Chain A
Amino acid sequence: MGLENLALGFQIAITPFNLFIAVVGILLGTIIGVLPGLGGANGVAILLPLTFTMPPTSAIILLTSIYWGALFGGAITSILFNIPGEPWSVATTFDGYPLARQGQGGQALTAAFTSSFIGAFFSIVLITFFAPLLAEIALKFGPPEFFAIQLLTFSSFVGLGGGNPLKSLVSILIGFILATVGLDIVTGQLRLTFGVTDLMKGFDFIIAVIGLFGIGEILLSVEEGLTFRGGKTGMNLRVVLDTWKVLPRYWRTFVRGSFIGFWMGFKPGGATPASFMSYAFAKRFSKNADRFGKGELEGVVAPETAAHAAGVAAMLPMLTLGIPGSPTAAVMLGGLIIWGLQPGPLLFKENPDFVWGLIASMYTGNVIGVLMVLAFVPFFAAILRIPFAILTPLIVVVCAIGSYAVHNSMIDIWYMLIFGVIGYVFKKLDYPIAPLVLALVLGDLAENALRQSLIMSQGSLAIFFTRPISAAITAAAIFFFVLPVITPWWRRLRGLPVTAPARPEA
């Protein structure tokens, strides 16, 4: 059904220029994923200005390749240095680092990259077939349905995010409030500017991403005192081939991880819980459950497969509904708008070459990515041996450049620093940051959807419950919102200990 479109996409993705772009993107992305303070989201944000002059398809290929690279890079630091570069790599450290300590770093890395590739590939195949269907359905959506989807997006942060649900909610609200600052395009009134001209253009979420994730992360890591005590990579062709001979044994784990990843991943903040869930399942069903945590290869396979399946699945709602599933997808969505494309279901009708070029590039990007990281692991690991006193100012400078380039404005660099301090405080106090960023991105869309829905119903909230699709989605959203309240009751009813799970930073 989508196959001729996919063939069209491959014609675009396999041009020498776009393949070159993918290689550059994966190289940069892996470096970004390895460096502390530069994760996928703000790596993509910082490099976004470089794409302004590119054709949109090449631009999105660059950004998605950076994202694939960052996903691979997270595994390198987790396994060799016991430092999860990204929150969804935390579960990879459980068995990856012990393996590296036992001199089996090469096996662990090969397993991690291969699992990432398989998880990602599974999700890409599903996206190829589901995305056009979902876009077709979404074309029939009106404002109430879109607002209901937004509710569902944010409710899953509150319900599934772990930690204090009130803090998740506050983060979301802060994001929405920041989004309202400036000119209200519907009424033409200025909101929350208090006569300050600099506030009139509002806050750009790209600046917020760079500050909250980049600077905030740097401040946090200097406070914790970074020390890189790394294991040897021990990577060569023989190790790779030998590990590949062992891996088919874990086919059940691959399948399970892929499904968990895809299912969790198209909901926001899904990659981290997916990786933990996949790890837990693998441990429960494994014959060597007691070896988990001490250096079991399956314990690397499970979280990596799920994390990458989820990371790719986060692109699905971005493409079809215009609602990003992760902060990185949100930055890409911002890119789409800057390049003059309208995100959402119409994209499939109006820019099929862009959409299918992107989907095809997911295949090529991941193939190139897995080969590149397998070949160049020692090079990427060496980056972490750069002294911290060089890395820190370098990252701050790169963040400043990225912030300035978005609007050519100095005030944005100041905002970046302020967001950095806020990010540091929020991380320490366990206010999650990802929902704040998503709310800032989606604020205008959500407000417009709400306004239009209320205008349709002359001010009655009942409209969200009287239309069937909207009612189903709203009901699901309400379920997630109240989940933190009913979970303790449910547990008490069943005689389980009443403990809130620690927050997996999404």
Chain B
Amino acid sequence: MKKSLLFSGGAGLAIAALALAMPRAEAPAQAAEPVALVADSAYPERPLFGDTHLHTTNSFDAFGAGNRLSPNEALRFARGEEVMSSSGIPAKLSRPLDFLVIADHSDAIGVTTDLYNTPEADLADPVLKRWRNMLHGDRKEAYSVTREIIASFQSGNIPKDLIRPDRVAAMTRRIWDAQIESVERYNEPGKFTALHGFEFSLAIKGNSLHRNVIFRDGADKARTVLPFPSNGNKGPEPLWDFMEAYEKASGGQLLAIPHNPNLSNGVMFAMTGPDGGPMSAEQARRRAAREPLVEVTQFKGDSESHPYLSRNDEFADYGDAGWENGNAPLSATKSPEMFGGEYAREALKRGLLIEQRTGANPYAFGMIGSTDTHTGLATADEDNFFGKFSNDEPNPDRMNTIVNPGIAQSRIGHQYLAGGLAAVWAKANTREAIFDAMMRREVYATTGPRMSVRLFAGWNFTSSAFSGNWVKTAYAKGVPMGGNLAAGKGVPSFIVQALKDPMGANLDRVQIVKGWIDAKGHTHEKIYDIVWSAPKTRKLVKGRLTPVGDTVDLTTATYTNSIGAPELRTVWRDPDYKKGQRAFYYARVLEIPTPRWVAYDAVRFKVQPPAGAKLKDQERAYTSPIWVGAK
């Protein structure tokens, strides 16, 4: 019980579980009323679902594409209130989120708004003049210029006038202070957590090295800094310097979450350090300490696995199409040797390689999903996709949007995913508890559905593990997802439990993805189907499980839960474990096939999806790994 204060002994689990609000002993400096304080439970009792990656009108590209929703409206929407979208559609989540991080681009924050508001005559630069006029144009024009601004930003050709330091500093301060104010107003410990954050959108020659930065702290500390810009930096190290300086000066805490490694052309998970030489132990330790998580699934594709890297994984291609064509603006196409530095599973293996050489693992990360929405609306379901940008809010043409105008290999609108969520096993719905769960990697990614997934590793779990208060026992005798299983006797065993989204689709199967390194320094992976629905009729044949079936009706964009299972759980022992082996294990949970957002759009707008558009898929969850065999 971390934060009991007035909460005295005898308050057992049951009471803690109520997330009982207690008055705070001393009022915070800024608030007029005492803020409720929420006690931590003894162990995490339910996953909290949230979005760590939301853009409001303050992001330069979001505004450019038509977003007019402020942090206030984004927070109201995430809490379940109805808001009017930028394109004039009333929008309300059927289920509120548990938490939200507003992560506007720190670079050029507010500049498109400012450019839009500047009289034409005041602009000298012909590029800015043209951009400004296009921002005032129709939806397509404004979107196309926004892509151009992103591309110019990503390739370092942004007009200097637009990011003049004095102008940007004043604007950033004004916007950051207003955002902090909003986030404080909507943060309600125990009910809904609003976290301070920003996106550090570093790109090197178009190769995406973006990070979302999250504060554990409140307004008093967050106000002491400004969102740290990426422009002019050559790597993430200056961000880590910023984080260290902030923590030292304020006593607060920050973490950074890389996203879209799939758009980095192989540089996100490099084997090398910033100087181009082999990564050192010190560099590896620093990265792991600053970046405990990776956002592996969001609108712009899924970065868990790629078929090029995982030839024996029949489900490796989820959310890869289009995004795999090159870096973020497609200023450079992809060659196969780049994939290894881009997809999380391979990065986890690279981590073992670097660890074997240096003794430190830079890529010992947990996994979350989020949206990266630029509409201010945190929508993560297939049936409520509000589009990456406001110009792609529900309309019949958005499945055909040319994402990278003027480029032959452009991604097409239908290749956007409907977004993911971050599931966090926190001990309370508070900033502190959520942040701490992220730091210990007790989190998982979902591609939108709110399935509940538990994973524990231990040396002594048997099939009788699911009796009594098994969760409590599992915490006592093992480690949860994100943990390191200390050396022990026998075979690593895993308790895996997956409960379907109560409002969603049944489950097809649970898999364990194992990666390991052998004595010769080669890495390997293997996927085990460990529990599945209808086990009487579905069998493993030559390592392949009979498919679960498919109930999707594309004429109505519906499915039925007549196949699959509401819950899958088992205890699994690694049959191939070799004593002393260094390995990681994570669970992948697959739902039965359901319609993609494109299929919902096709029915709602009575349009024919373009050839090649994927209309259904199996949504999924990826847990953070558990590492076994640390020296």
Q: Do A and B bind each other?
A: no
